[in-house]
Structure 1
Amino acid sequence: MKVKLSNIDGSAGKGDIELSDAVFGLEPRADILHRVVTWQLENRRGIARATRERSDVARTGKKFGRQKGGGTARHGDRAAPVFIGGGKAHGARRREFDISLNKKIRALGLKMALSAKAQSGLIVVDTLELKDAKTKALSLQLAKAGFGKKVLIIDGEQVDAGFARAAGNLIGVNVLPAVGANVYDILKHDTLVLTRAAVEKLEARFNG
């Protein structure tokens, strides 16, 4: 599929670019996208730390005190929760969220996310180089383009330094290198902007 190149201010660029149908021409499936997004978000969660319960505390198991005549409860050992240094009663349990997902499903999910944006919300630019790499100037250009409130911009091997600096303080504008492209970030933004280098990198990523 052919897409006309644009400039970062939304104006028409020079020429067009051929996008691979194997990457940008798939029919998105909600179930695949849901599985990949769930996998991403679950793996962002940290491991819930466990507290030490009665069986985890290293204290003597020798019976404390006499069975009768002491005037106190009949304790079995010092690891009981009622003692200072004993285990915690009903403490937090360790929980892990590192769910697994087949690599083919992850790759298919990214292709479908890119295809979904190719249907509506994909802009391809030649480069991110700016004549005036200032935040105010870039803000005016993006406002003129009308990309929406949330814009994800993906460059090639690494993001152009001047553009990254100018976009650093813009709310709703996120910039990533091609290697950082992921389903969750692509779907949660209104518009996806790819450079020519990003398209080449993404297509090579799947062809390799």
Structure 2
Amino acid sequence: MRRPTMASLGSRLPGHGFRAPNLKALGPGSVASLLKIALDVAYVLLGLITSALIVGLIAAIFVPLANLNITVTDDSGGLQQPLTRPLLLFALGSAAAFFGSFMLILRSLRMIFRTLTVGDPFQPANVRRLRQIGLILAVVTGGKWLAQSLIAERLAPGIMTPQGFTDLLTPIFSVLVVFVLAEVFREGARLRRESELTI
């Protein structure tokens, strides 16, 4: 009697006579290629949003502002402030920088997933891309912390609270994970290069 192998047990659905497709992690037609498509779509959307914010930022320099107010609210109430040109430029500029930064992150991720799609992830260029992602994440985290502190202090005192150190723990952990991954890829690239020289 022939015993079923692990491959047949893992791919055959219980109670059915057909086999489930085995999805590859790397290479053409893999999960990595599907994620690459999703990253391409997100990259285009972020590009459109960033472009619209830059156009709005340029228009805000020339468009006259008159009798416009903004209201910042929380559970306990709200605070109304006049919408001044510096405030509008700050808001649009911050948003454009935020979305533009994530657009740069997606650009690097798309390049990394392109190497995953061809089945060759341990390239020296991927180390540089991961380090760029970590650096951009660090800058975005610091910029967001600074912007929220300024808003809480100048625009909505008593309504918004500035970020504390505990709010930075998760972003800092994410940045450290990216830099650790960069070192893993660097070591993988080194081992691959040594094996090629040995062969």
* TM-score between both structures, scaled by the size of structure 2: 0.21
Larger radius of gyration: 1
Q: Which has the higher helix share?
A: 2
* TM-score between both structures, scaled by the size of structure 1: 0.21
Q: Which has the higher contact order (CA 8 A, sep 6+)?
A: 1
